[in-house]
Structure 1
Amino acid sequence: MLKQYLQFKLSQKLSPQQIQLMKLIQLPTQAFEQRLKQELEENPALESGKEKHEDYEDTFEEFDNSADEINDNETITAEDINVDDYLSDDDIPDYRTQSNNYSSDDEEKSVPYAAGTSFTQHLTNQLNTFRLSDEEMDIAEFLVGSIDESGYIRRSLNDIVDDLAFTQNIFTEVETVEKVLHTVHLLDPAGVGARNLQECLSIQLHRKEKTPDVELAIDIIDNAFEQFTKKHYKKLLQKFDVTEIQLRDAIEEIEHLNPKPGGSYSGGNKMVEHVVPDFAIRIVDGELELTLNGRNAPELHVSREYSNMMKGYKESKDKSKQQKDAVLFIKQKLDAAKWFIEAIKQRQQTLFVTMSAIMDYQQEYFLTGDERKLKPMILKDIADNIGMDVSTVSRVANSKYVDTPYGTKLIKEFFSESMTNDQGEEVSTKEIKKILETVIEEEDKRKPLTDEKLASILKEKGYPIARRTVAKYREQLDFPVARLRKKI
């Protein structure tokens, strides 16, 4: 049985303008500049630079009044105003003032681009120095193409044999591929083409001059790799019947090897990322001073030419259908320009207010640079302080950088959870991690401290935290367990 009924429901929906504003707030400086450039290209009613004697409020009010007139049902009887007249430019076009002052035999005026050689091409070029049959060369090139950015071949030889058959129409045996792989191992950088870390280190050691330390290192890697990785130094001393000094020198040889030979290649083809700080904090006469990067505060204004078109339409008595359609288009562009300018101003204000609150909250840290002075701070603390939503603060913190007297920092790094010390005071987890890092760095590496012992030391310093919490913080600081921190 069908029934009809009415239901009233209140719901909140974000307007397209609000969504665009949130996206603008989230953008870091470089991405914001790209967005600004895109908007200037797409909207002819929006112009950059400062325009004198511009009264935006009056201009926008005229836009609104004109819009009301456009929407009226009026009779079109004459064509007093031609919109094309407003679009015309009295200045001489650029192409009329340009000339080609170069003859055909002049040197090339274009700026050349730097071109780098890829890692794979670098290895392939070296293969030409070896005497290989056509089939072996094809296999070698396929192996080189299978090397990842770290310099390793992560696939088994059986899989490679299958791929050669299916994709290259080369039918061969594992033994042949392994023979060619030994040739690949002769390429530079040393260790490239290895299938695992043990083979990578072994290849590099066999390329070194044979000294007693190197020969012992080769013996350790080839015959006692598991004991070496687990740092069972007593077992190594017994197995190879050497002194601690000899073992330490051999291990030092191994530590100087490159575990990722592919990472050492710099062919000029890698992108370098530059961080542009969105804010700058300076200490002036003992006080903190916050400034917003000028690239986040562009000067924009509504095109005077487009505003004149709106005024001309408003002053005309009789309006044609063509004029009405053209001015409707102009009105849309003017409205978009008006909103974008206001959105930029709101973005600037939101960024500055949020960062000011963070600076005031972490005043002790910004004055001293001591990370132990960082107070516990979560997004809600700042959101409540400035009367904004947590999501807005998150957008500001996640992708923005601030230039401080102690380096350029990611803003989200200033946020941390809180813990209570033995005096009942709330302290930042960053403070505890800093102390933990100091304790581990100053420990006796011959007898590294266990997580239980580290927890005991932190408790003595006034931070009663559990062993499992110490283990979590230690892993976040990229320190291995005590056994793997041991040195002979």
Structure 2
Amino acid sequence: MLKQHLQFKLSQKLSPQQIQLMKLIQLPTQAFEQRLKQELEENPALEGGKEKTDDLDNEFDDNYDSETDNETIATDDINIDDYLSDDEVPEYRTKANNYSADDDEKSIPYAAGISFTQSLINQLNTVYLSDEEWNIAEFLIGSVDESGYIRRPLADILDDLAFTQNTYTDEKTISKVLKIVQELDPPGVAARSLEECLIIQLKRKDPTASTELAIAILEKSFDQFTKKHYKKLIQKHNITEAELKSAISEIERLNPKPGGSYSGNNRIVEHVVPDFSIRIVEGELELSLNGRNAPELHVSSEYSNMLKGYKDSKEKSKSQKDTVMFIKQKLDAAKWFIDAIRQRQQTLFITMNSIMNYQKEYFLTGDERNLRPMILKDIADEIHMDVSTVSRVANSKYVDTPYGTKLIKEYFSESMKNEQGEDVSTKEIKKILETVIGEEEKKKPLTDDKLAAILKEKGYPIARRTVAKYREQLSIPVARLRKQI
């Protein structure tokens, strides 16, 4: 038999408005503008631009006042006086006090274009093919990945052509059509391996002694070439060191990812818009928030006039009450959105200001060795906010500095103690590691053990496996693959 009983449980949940505010904070400048445009389209009670009123206070507010300027309206009663009072947020309160109207708008545009696949199809239109060959060629082009390779065996393509395209052929015909597709641009496209990709590119060049030798090395000694066994290559091909160096130089100028260099491969057109700007003025750091994060918004005066008309009317029908309820909801949403934007500005500025001051020495010099170890909790504790809030600001926002535009999260790093017991940033160690590798003798590159010993001499006692981890994070290959003639 089922028994019913009451249970009291205390739980903490975010309100829908708090969730929306967190989402607003996370948005970078360009995405925020899209969200603002959407809100203006969906809520007729919210208007952009300056409010056309004579009594508008135009005085600039230099403080970030955390108190709310508009009252919270109860949802069960319709108190029209609350909406007709002059407590609407003036437009100057929706501006930040740290940007100038004539600030340069910095963005990095990317041009749009047709897709990589469509470009290959367009080129195929200039080649005479039978209907069967065209179907095979089109299917092969559809199998080309973003790097420009076909990574599927011809036997699998043969089966797919039969089952999905109702095209029955053989591997010999597919191989013949593949050769035609491989003649399209960019050179090396539709290759089935790196070896084939490089050979296709070399064969498209004017024949010289260096290119012929490079082709022979790739065709007969590809494994030894990738492992940089230069002495074995010299012996096997009976060549001099200078000839080998010339052939390797030809290979190094080739593109291992022909599809990646195609600009039309960028389907999504984006702009990197700095959310903050840091400048050095008379030896001091000056932080400003991108003005596009501080739009001019106000509540529609027409909606207030509607409420005045309802208040002055003696007879109030049900349809009028329903209209007032609709207006009330839109006004609530408009006032909340204006306040949420103000809170977003305040949160962004406070967080970035704390990061700037924490890394003051770096921002003044631009030397990455001056980056202090900094984790999200360090900033969260300083500004008395949650770690998740700092994370939302750091993960998606860019800052324009005298040393370039960078993602804010790049300034965060773990700490490690040096021989003096001082906490140093792992970014500092990576920078030194990168410098040491850059200055090494290319004929005898340093192994991870030797790199660890050098770092220890410089006062950074780290293990060999840690050196290997940092090297991989810097996208630097092992010593054997760094070897040059």
User: Normalized against structure 2, the TM-score is what?
Assistant: 0.86
Match among 273, 277, 283 for residue 270 of structure 2:
273
Local SS of the residue matching 2:150: coil
Deviation at 1:272, TM superposition (A): 3.9
Aligned: 1:433 with 2:401: no
* Aligned twin of 1:456: 453
* Aligned twin of 1:356: 353
* Aligned twin of 2:398: 401
* Aligned twin of 2:103: none
Alpha-carbon distance between aligned partners in 2 of 1:302 and 1:449, rounded to the nearest angstrom: 66
Work out the number of aligned pairs and report it: 445
Letter in 2 for 1:40: L
Alpha-carbon distance between aligned partners in 2 of 1:460 and 1:319, rounded to the nearest angstrom: 87
* Aligned twin of 1:367: 364
* Aligned twin of 1:343: 340
Summarize deviations over 1:91-123 as a string: whole Å, max 9, x none. xxxxxxxxxxxxxxxxxxxxxxx9954433433
Q: Compared with structure 1, are the counterparts of its residues 2 and 336 closer, same or farther at alpha carbon in structure 2 (3 Å cutoff)?
A: same
183-192 vs 157-166, greater mean Cα deviation: 183-192
Match among 212, 217, 220 for residue 215 of structure 1:
212
Alpha-carbon distance between aligned partners in 2 of 1:266 and 1:11, rounded to the nearest angstrom: 51
* Aligned twin of 2:145: 148
Q: Compared with structure 1, are the counterparts of its residues 397 and 268 closer, same or farther at alpha carbon in structure 2 (3 Å cutoff)?
A: closer
* Aligned twin of 1:136: 133
Letter in 1 for 2:369: R
Alpha-carbon distance between aligned partners in 2 of 1:471 and 1:23, rounded to the nearest angstrom: 38
Q: CA RMSD in A?
A: 2.4
Letter in 2 for 1:13: K
Match among 221, 229, 238 for residue 226 of structure 2:
229
Local SS of the residue matching 1:262: coil
Deviation at 1:131, TM superposition (A): 4.7
Letter in 2 for 1:46: L
Deviation at 1:54, TM superposition (A): 4.6
* Aligned twin of 1:40: 40
Q: Compared with structure 1, are the counterparts of its residues 61 and 147 closer, same or farther at alpha carbon in structure 2 (3 Å cutoff)?
A: closer
Deviation at 1:309, TM superposition (A): 2.6
253-262 vs 304-313, greater mean Cα deviation: 304-313
Local SS of the residue matching 1:264: coil
Deviation at 1:312, TM superposition (A): 3.9
Letter in 1 for 2:368: E
* Aligned twin of 1:86: none
Which blocks of at least 5 consecutive residues in structure 2 are unaligned? 58-66, 82-110
Q: Compared with structure 1, are the counterparts of its residues 333 and 117 closer, same or farther at alpha carbon in structure 2 (3 Å cutoff)?
A: closer
* Aligned twin of 2:85: none
Q: Compared with structure 1, are the counterparts of its residues 333 and 54 closer, same or farther at alpha carbon in structure 2 (3 Å cutoff)?
A: farther
132-141 vs 200-209, greater mean Cα deviation: 132-141
Aligned: 1:411 with 2:414: no
Q: Would you say the 8 A contact 2:48–2:295 is kept in 1?
A: yes
Alpha-carbon distance between aligned partners in 2 of 1:235 and 1:164, rounded to the nearest angstrom: 44
Alpha-carbon distance between aligned partners in 2 of 1:193 and 1:432, rounded to the nearest angstrom: 41
Summarize deviations over 1:423-445 as a string: whole Å, max 9, x none. 00000000000000111111111
Letter in 2 for 1:144: I
Q: Compared with structure 1, are the counterparts of its residues 59 and 23 closer, same or farther at alpha carbon in structure 2 (3 Å cutoff)?
A: closer
Alpha-carbon distance between aligned partners in 2 of 1:427 and 1:62, rounded to the nearest angstrom: 48
* Aligned twin of 1:320: 317
Q: Would you say the 8 A contact 2:115–2:267 is kept in 1?
A: no
Deviation at 1:145, TM superposition (A): 2.6
* Aligned twin of 1:119: 116
* Aligned twin of 1:178: 175
Local SS of the residue matching 1:263: coil
Letter in 2 for 1:228: F
Deviation at 1:186, TM superposition (A): 2.3
* Aligned twin of 2:108: none
Alpha-carbon distance between aligned partners in 2 of 1:154 and 1:384, rounded to the nearest angstrom: 50
Q: Compared with structure 1, are the counterparts of its residues 321 and 60 closer, same or farther at alpha carbon in structure 2 (3 Å cutoff)?
A: farther
* Aligned twin of 1:104: none
Aligned: 1:302 with 2:306: no
Deviation at 1:170, TM superposition (A): 2.0
Q: Would you say the 8 A contact 2:116–2:265 is kept in 1?
A: no
Letter in 2 for 1:174: E
Q: Compared with structure 1, are the counterparts of its residues 460 and 424 closer, same or farther at alpha carbon in structure 2 (3 Å cutoff)?
A: same
Q: Would you say the 8 A contact 1:59–1:307 is kept in 2?
A: no
Alpha-carbon distance between aligned partners in 2 of 1:5 and 1:128, rounded to the nearest angstrom: 75
Q: Compared with structure 1, are the counterparts of its residues 179 and 349 closer, same or farther at alpha carbon in structure 2 (3 Å cutoff)?
A: same
Aligned: 1:483 with 2:485: no
Deviation at 1:59, TM superposition (A): 9.5
Q: Would you say the 8 A contact 2:78–2:325 is kept in 1?
A: no
Alpha-carbon distance between aligned partners in 2 of 1:443 and 1:278, rounded to the nearest angstrom: 39
Deviation at 1:314, TM superposition (A): 3.8
Aligned: 1:6 with 2:3: no
Q: Would you say the 8 A contact 1:365–1:374 is kept in 2?
A: yes
Q: Compared with structure 1, are the counterparts of its residues 11 and 423 closer, same or farther at alpha carbon in structure 2 (3 Å cutoff)?
A: same
Alpha-carbon distance between aligned partners in 1 of 2:185 and 2:68, rounded to the nearest angstrom: 70
Letter in 2 for 1:397: A
| Higher CA-based Rg | 1
Aligned: 1:157 with 2:147: no
Summarize deviations over 1:254-301 as a string: whole Å, max 9, x none. 111111222333459754421111111111111111111111011111
User: Normalized against structure 1, the TM-score is what?
Assistant: 0.86
* Aligned twin of 1:289: 286
Alpha-carbon distance between aligned partners in 1 of 2:411 and 2:266, rounded to the nearest angstrom: 34
Aligned: 1:391 with 2:388: yes
Alpha-carbon distance between aligned partners in 1 of 2:361 and 2:292, rounded to the nearest angstrom: 28
Deviation at 1:125, TM superposition (A): 3.9
Alpha-carbon distance between aligned partners in 2 of 1:368 and 1:327, rounded to the nearest angstrom: 59
Q: Would you say the 8 A contact 1:157–1:177 is kept in 2?
A: yes
Alpha-carbon distance between aligned partners in 2 of 1:172 and 1:59, rounded to the nearest angstrom: 75
Summarize deviations over 1:435-481 as a string: whole Å, max 9, x none. 00111111111001000000000000000011100000000000011
Q: Compared with structure 1, are the counterparts of its residues 116 and 298 closer, same or farther at alpha carbon in structure 2 (3 Å cutoff)?
A: closer
Alpha-carbon distance between aligned partners in 1 of 2:125 and 2:343, rounded to the nearest angstrom: 61
